[in-house]
Amino acid sequence: MNAAQKRARKAGNALDDAPGDGRVRPPPVPAGPQTTTPPDAIGSDPLRAEAGMDDTERWVPLEFERYITLLEKIQREPNWKTTRQLAKELNDECFDTSLRQVQRILEYFGPRFGVIAKRLPYGRGKPQAWAWPKQGKSLPFPTMDAPAALTYQIAAELLAPLLPTAFLDELEPEFKRAHRVLGLASTRAASLPRKLQVLPRGTGRLPAQIRPQVLHAVEHCLLHGQQLRLRGRLFGRRHDVLERLLHPIALVFRFDTMYLVAGLEDAIGYCIDWFALHRADHAECIDKPAIPPAAFDLDRTLKEVRRHRLPNGLLDESDRPARLHARILHPDALDSLEERPFSTDQTIHHTADGWMLEATVTVTRDLLTELHDLGAHLEVLEPAPVRDHLARLATKLHQIYRTTASDVRNPE
């Protein structure tokens, strides 16, 4: 926003602040010389002149913009915003607005748009905090059309098996809105949700659930750079309940599990650790600035974490690219590997020994998972440590499953 635009916006921010008679009225349109926008702030506007608009009316769109901006600043419960916070955010965007003006605007427009209000324990008189209802509607701008609604329906199907319920609850109003839009579009469009089915790639297990209160606190601390007190069995169910004061750095999603990367101070000093949020039973924001690490590279940290998740004997293989040589043993695997290659330089060629695959890969847990899924349809020849790992795994599985289900049920 340039200086002229800022002057124009401030010139249009005059709002009658005279005491009322107790009735809630729409915020009035100021009249008189003080409401005229300086011509140098707006410049010549032949379209306005042609429409017969005088200088007094020029600022009205800016006032309308203030009302809409104020409503956009409000979040869904339980993320309440106080009147003071909203006034500050408007002033930060060059809308010269007092606490009383914010209160009057919301008292008039809030009920008409569905905004809910509450009084804070330490407040007096009128409501001091505002939010959109958790399951209600918010500002319907822009209007959702049928293609956008269909996109939301597909997103809902994709996200349902991956995201915790607390995340999905935040999006539920938009998903319901999309469903209504499709229902009103046409009979054919209304039937589209029944024709969509997403089969996610995954383990088939349900996602770990995160407490909504924990998720909201983590989001708030990340957005505002605050410290976080986290409590729970942070290192697994076999460990004791712990409480840690953390300095949040980032959120990482791995399939259906969400991790908080955070700094903490212990006897050794400042260190960085990972915390699975579904293991926390309580989180509290601390009104103190989080201390960022002196030097932190999230990509490098993720690489280190993936490296340490590898089985013994494969750690050294993750430090450098490796050549994967394998024999394809089943036609179905041949089709799958041609359609979804291991790398951009992958080649598949036929030899006297059958179909052979070569590709440049990095040895990660994800690569091992892909090789496990292929099972007896692919024989890994190199790298040797990867082949040895698969051979040990096959031996263990044979020892476990060498007897059939009937033998287990009817032991001699």
Same domain for 23 and 51, yes or no, is: yes
- Whether the pLDDT of residue 378 is over 80: the answer is yes
**Residue at 69 is within a domain:** yes
pLDDT at residue 48 is higher than 80: no
- Pair (247, 350) in one structural domain: no
| SS3 at position 376 | helix
**DSSP label of 237:** T
Determine the Cα–Cα distance for residues 356 and 348; give it in Å rounded to an integer: 6
Residues 10 and 111 in one domain: yes
Cβ-proximal residues to 252 (8 Å cutoff; 6+ apart), any chain: 258, 259, 260, 261, 274, 298, 302
- pLDDT value at residue 365: 82
Distance between CA atoms of residues 196 and 348, nearest Å: 35
As a whole number of angstroms, the distance between CA 104 and CA 24 comes to 8
Mean predicted confidence (pLDDT) in 10-15: 45
Confidence of residue 53 (pLDDT cuts 50, 70, 90): very low
pLDDT of res. 396: 92
Count CB neighbours of 30 within 10 A: 18
Asked if residue 165 belongs to a domain, the reply is yes
Peptide bond into 78 cis (omega under 30): yes
Range of the domain at 10: 3-120
Higher pLDDT, 401 or 6: 401
More confident residue, 23 or 116: 116
Alpha helix positions (H), 58-145? 60-73, 83-92, 99-113
Mean pLDDT of 209-213: 87
| 203 within some domain | no
The domain tally of the chain equals 4
- Residues 25, 52: one domain? yes
User: Where is pLDDT greater, at 55 or 72?
Assistant: 72
173: preceding bond cis by omega (within 30 degrees) = no
What's phi and psi for 230, nearest 5 deg?
-115, 135
- Bridge partners for 347 per DSSP: 358
Closest CA relative to residue 98, chosen from 109, 83, 111, 81: 83
Residues 8 and 115 in one domain: yes
Instruction: Kindly give the residue spans of alpha helices, DSSP state H, lying in 186-309.
Output: 187-190, 212-224, 298-308
Q: Is the pLDDT of residue 371 over 90?
A: yes
| Contact (Cβ atoms closer than 8 angstroms) between residue 83 and residue 138 | no
Query: CA nearest 62: which of 103, 30, 17?
Result: 30
Q: What is the CATH number of the domain that holds 279?
A: 2.30.30
Structure confidence at residue 265 as a pLDDT band (50, 70, 90): confident
Which pLDDT value is given to residue 248?
92
Q: Is 325 in contact with 382 (CB distance < 8 Å)?
A: yes
Is 373 in the same domain as 343?
Answer: yes
Query: What percentage of the chain exceeds 70 in pLDDT?
Result: 69
Give CA–CA dist 378/368, Å, rounded.
Answer: 12
In this predicted model, what pLDDT tens digit does every residue of 130-145 receive, in sequence order?
A: 888 877 666 665 667 7
What is the pTM assigned to this prediction? 0.54
Quick one: which of 261, 266, 267, 264 has its CA closest to 297?
A: 261
> Which residue carries 């297990």 as its tokens?
205
Mean pLDDT value across residues 365-394: 91
